[in-house]
Amino acid sequence: MTNDLPSPAQPLKIGTRGSPLALAQAYETRARLMAAFDLPDDAFAIVVIKTSGDDRVLIDADRPLKEIGNKGLFTKEIEEAMLDGFIDIAVHSMKDMPVEQPAGLLLDTYLPREDVRDAFVSPHHAALADLPEGAIVGTSSLRRRAQLLSRRPDLNVVEFRGNVQTRLRKLNDGVAQATFLAMAGLNRLGMDDVPCCAIEVDDMLPAVAQGAIGIERRADDTRARDMLAAIHDGVTAQRLAAERAFLAALDGSCETPIGALAELDGDMLRLRGEILRPDGSACYSDAAEGAIADGPKIGRAMAARLLAQAGPDFFKA
């Protein structure tokens, strides 16, 4: 392994989208690899890859994301670049990742998970409860939209897309009175000055894998495998195994409002999950616990129970 480490002459190429948050996640990955192997920063190359999703959200800025395409919109070109050997690894926000990877690629490395909570962001109101009736709230997340309307059907929820900086600019321009962001993203960007209030998970269950960074590699790349093993966080992997099994069993996509959170306590895992109608008119939730190793089984069983309660046409309503 020592003789096969990257160098300034032959750097390890890290693929990422170009948003400030995506770059921050790529830099965190690089920093952890530098520390693990005592390497200089120029032993790595950050390669920005524009995806079809990046273009589409600009062209179709007012259309809901579910009408543009699924989560693969933001990974296709990056994964193709990796399969072609143009990059060696790719850094992703795990909440944006499909539950299946293309043949030849593996997503099996996770960095320590950040804050999983959503943040209520408003320049004029301290908390969600302070919003007046009929207030305009912007979000592109079907989950957040459904959860919000389930609790506050009096609010006017509008499409609100873009990276963190774009959404904050829209908020300051008065397009909406409030929005939601991930606390993890704000923390990773060092945006302590954003007027926000963290929403406890008991009040708003986060998206599957929210706050987690995943690193994808070619299945046959033993150097990347061995290097990534040094920065892999096993606890995050155990939590995500349960959450993503729950999501996979629900056939989760950008079109399905789903929340889930796995937490560990000693050798036990507790999973909470919920499914909602897009308009927030119905919500089914469940919780279960068991051995950590049984996390995926717990997730699949919970999905089956919720689907049985909700009925086969639940997401179509």
Please list the active-site residues: 96
Distance in angstroms between the alpha carbons of the first and the last residue of the chain: 54
Provide the sign of the torsion angle of the four alpha carbons 196, 201, 206, 208, taken in this order: positive
What SS3 state is found at 97?
coil
Please, are residues 238 and 297 in contact by the beta-carbon 8 Å criterion? Answer: no
Please, are residues 222 and 277 in contact by the beta-carbon 8 Å criterion? Answer: no
Please, are residues 163 and 191 in contact by the beta-carbon 8 Å criterion? Answer: no
Query: Strands, E, within 187-315: which ranges?
Result: 196-199, 213-218, 258-265, 268-276, 283-291
What SS3 state is found at 210?
coil
Count the alpha carbons within 13 Å of 216 in the hemisphere toward its beta carbon: 26
Count the alpha carbons within 13 Å of 243 in the hemisphere toward its beta carbon: 27
Cβ count near 129 (within 10 Å) = 11
The one-character DSSP state at 250 is T
315, 206, 107, 14: CA torsion to nearest 10: 120
What SS3 state is found at 3?
helix
Angstrom distances, CA of residue 198 to CA of 110, 131, 209: 24, 15, 17
| Phi (first) and psi of residue 261, to 5 degrees | -155, 125
Sheet holding 258-265, edge to edge: 258-265, 268-276, 283-291
